[in-house]
Amino acid sequence: MIAEGKVKRPEKRRLKLGRWILKEKIGVFIGSKSEDKGES
């Protein structure tokens, strides 16, 4: 269910959430330059 209401912004302080976790590898990126060389 989506909460209904208004968001009040009493101050301009930015909120940054620092959690950051490098999880599993999901693939390999091959750039277009490599493809041009026939390395894909």
Partner 1 sequence: MVVRVKIRVKARRSGKSKEIIVLANGGAESPRPCIVVEPRTAEELGLWPPEEAEVYRVEEASTISRVFLLRKAVTLELLSEEGSVLSSVEADLVIQEGLTEPIITDITIDELGIQVISFSRGLWRHKEDKPETIRRSPTKS
Query: Does residue 40 contact residue 30 with C-beta atoms inside 8 Å?
Result: yes
- Of 30, 28, 26, the residue nearest 40 (C-alpha): 30
Of the candidates 2, 6, 13, 18, which one interacts with partner 1 according to CB under 8 A? 18
22 lies in the binding site for partner 1 (CB under 8 A) = yes
25 lies in the binding site for partner 1 (CB under 8 A) = yes
3 lies in the binding site for partner 1 (CB under 8 A) = no
7 lies in the binding site for partner 1 (CB under 8 A) = no
CB of 6 to partner 1, least distance (A): 20
